[in-house]
Amino acid sequence: MIRATNLSVAIHGTPILQNVSLDIAAGQIVGLVGESGSGKSMTALAMMGLLPDGAVAKGAIQLFEEDLLQTDERRLCAMRGQEIGMIFQEPMTALNPVQTIGDQVSETLTVHGAANGDAARKIARDRLDRVGLGHIGMAAFPHELSGGQRQRVCIAAAIALRPKLLIADEPTTALDVTTQAQILDLLRELSRSEDMALLLITHDLAVVAGMADHVAVMRNGEIVEQGATSTVMRDRAHPYTRALFAASAHQPEQTDMPVSDAILEVRNVVRIYPGRRNGLQRGSPLRAVDGVSFALKKGESLGLVGESGCGKSTLTRAILGLDPIQGGSIVLSGNPVTPHMPRRQRAAIQVVFQDPYGSFNPRWRVARIVAEPFHLLPRRPPDWRDQVADALSAVQLAPGDMKKYPHEFSGGQRQRIAIARALITKPDVLVLDEAVSALDVRIRAQVLDLLADLRARLGLSYLFISHDLTVVRAITDRVLVMQSGRIVERGETPEVFDAPNHPYTQALIAAAPRLDDVENAGDIDA
């Protein structure tokens, strides 16, 4: 139905896509997988005729009889929305915050002259019902909806005119696992029942494995392997596909650490945010963390899992002594943790954040960035440069990198710099706040290996906070599951994952896309 033949795109002479050929039939789901920068999104934009300025496309994109590369902008405008719909990663920014959702869905209809006024609103209502928003009024504004509901609105707008092809660019990456599972179910069901072709772009092999009929693996602007999903998953003919699979399922080698006494004790911690100000009054206060207790033993790796808004970030900030707590106590090596704790104690607990781009002052060189925590010592050690060099070597960067600026590094390298900074004061506890969530699978596997190795060598204790169950399973000994500010389940990681007790944990684990099933199938055949 839509077919790209030898599609090549260059932007200002730099080749972005090379000889991409992809064929999607009506009612078929095609998965396009690859790491960041592989050209997945550019392929989608080419299919929409939305290539950026300065892009030159060669080859052909055939939608039925028309070649989209030869079509003029007027005709393309008519086709976008009508023949091809698209949904994006970030449902927060894809909707206009000052328009009601009813208006935004019916806009697609009126723009294309398919319906007007009440007729358009009637269809919009029908489409919203179709994506499972029957209980939400047309007059609702985007900010009144959850992330998953907003993504449903985007889908409703995209399918309002029953397009032949729906392009979903990382549609669930910004969503929690349980929401992700629902959105994927909806997309699959829509594609089947409306006979709509679906191009699903994702970095997550597990999502594709569970969804797509056909999968294409992209690297550096080329499709290195494509075929029926089961075949690709089983054969993994191309070495790159094999590397991706290996990285996704990567299990860092864990040395058994002698685990001794608790080094960090969290007892009945309560963190209350004052209610939202509404004129002169305040709403009721929010208990973001509500009586959380746990102990982190020396040398242990403890996971903390939960969906967005469950209070894990708030808890992290309290444990780092950045925010005051309203109840309970946090004790690190026998001393209380507060925003006013002595510097020496602060040096014993350090943190690595999620965003490899926002973690560093862009105007500082690496040497100064990594040396910043020396501020916690009475004076900066005279051999601080050697210590920074050692820390960089420990995270497998070159000491020569000290002179560079953060923007000269890739995402994975930046995360290593962040780890080096956290290690420079030789802390006992390292808090890893979604530390590998923003990384591509292969880079993630390397950083996980590094973390496992550092723990074994330096005897560190990790508090590993993540929404990604696969990663938590790979790197932690024990795990805590958090929901609405409370710990609802805790235990040894393998036990919790294999036999969850709490309904919330069960829902989380059931919703997480997995590769195991496919892998087992492959093993049997082999």
Partner 1 sequence: MIPRALVFGAVPTLFFIAAAGLSFLWVPHDVTDLSIADRLQPMSAEYLLGTDQFGRDILSMLMVGARTSIAVALVAVGIGIGLGVPLGLAAAALRGSLLDEIIMRANDLVFAFPSLVIAILITAVFGPSAVNAILAIGIFNIPVFARVARGGAMSLWTLDYVLAARTAGKGRSRISIEHILPNIANLLVVQATIQFSLGILAEAALSYVGLGAQPPTPSWGRMLAEAQTMIYTHPMLAILPGLAIVLMVLGLNLLGDGLRDLLDPRLRRVRS
> In this structure, are residues 315 and 289 in contact, taking their beta carbons and an 8 Å threshold?
yes
- How far from 470 is each of 5, 67, 252, 449, CA to CA, in Å? 37, 42, 12, 14
At 364, list the tokens.
């500082």
Q: Interface with partner 1 includes 283 (CB under 8 A)?
A: no
Question: Taking the complex as a whole, how short is the minimal distance between the CB of residue 363 and partner 1, in angstroms?
Answer: 5
Smallest separation (angstroms) from partner 1 to the CB of 494: 32
**90 lies in the binding site for partner 1 (CB under 8 A):** no
Stretch that binds partner 1, among 87-95, 208-216, 346-354, 509-517 (CB under 8 A): 346-354
- For position 351 contacting partner 1 by CB under 8 A, the verdict is yes
* Residue 343 engages partner 1 in binding (rule: CB under 8 A): yes
Q: What is the chain's alpha carbon radius of gyration, rounded to the nearest angstrom?
A: 25
* Residue 383: partners with Cβ closer than 8 Å, 6 or more residues away: none
Task: Give the nearest distance from C-beta 473 to partner 1 in angstroms.
Answer: 25
CB closer to partner 1, 182 vs 354: 354
Site string for partner 1, 290-329 (x = CB under 8 A): ---------------------------x--xxx-------
Stretch near partner 1 under the rule CB under 8 A, chosen from 132-140, 176-184, 348-356, 505-513: 348-356
Nearer to partner 1 among residue 117 and residue 362 (C-beta): 362
Question: What stretch of H or E contains 216?
Answer: strand 214-219
Minimum CB separation from partner 1 for residue 259, in Å?
Answer: 25
**Does residue number 105 form part of the binding site for partner 1 (CB under 8 A)?**
no
Q: How far apart are CA 70 and CA 447, in angstroms?
A: 45
Q: Number of helices (H) and strands (E) in the chain: give both, helices first.
A: 20, 22
**Given the complex with partner 1, which of 128 and 371 has the nearer CB atom?**
371
The H-assigned helical ranges of 4-39 are none
Q: Enter the tokens of residue 437.
A: 């969530």
Q: How far is the CB of 308 from partner 1 (least distance, A)?
A: 16
When asked if residue 421 is in the footprint of partner 1 (CB under 8 A), the reply is yes
Residues pairing with 2 in the sheet: 24, 63
194 forms part of the interface with partner 1 (CB under 8 A): no
Could you say whether residue 271 binds partner 1 (CB under 8 A)? no
Asked whether position 415 contacts partner 1 by CB under 8 A, the answer is no
Rule CB under 8 A: which of 373-412 touch partner 1? 373, 375-376, 407
SS3 442: helix
Buried b (16+ CB within 10 A) or exposed e, 132-145: bbeebebebebeeb
Q: Which stretch binds partner 1 (CB under 8 A): 169-177, 199-207, 368-376, 467-475?
A: 368-376
Distance in angstroms (rounded) separating the CA atoms of residues 326 and 338: 11
Number of residues that bind partner 1 (CB under 8 A): 26
Q: Which of 240, 245, 294, 360 binds partner 1 (CB under 8 A)?
A: 360
Own/partner pairs for 222-227, CB < 8 Å, 24+ apart? 222/17, 222/18, 222/19, 222/20, 222/39, 223/20, 223/21, 223/22, 226/22
Query: Is 137 or 342 the residue whose CB approaches partner 1 more closely?
Result: 342
Q: How many CB atoms lie within 10 A of CB 243?
A: 15
For binding to partner 1 (CB under 8 A), which residues are involved?
317, 320-322, 343, 346-347, 349-351, 353-355, 358-363, 372-373, 375-376, 407, 418, 421
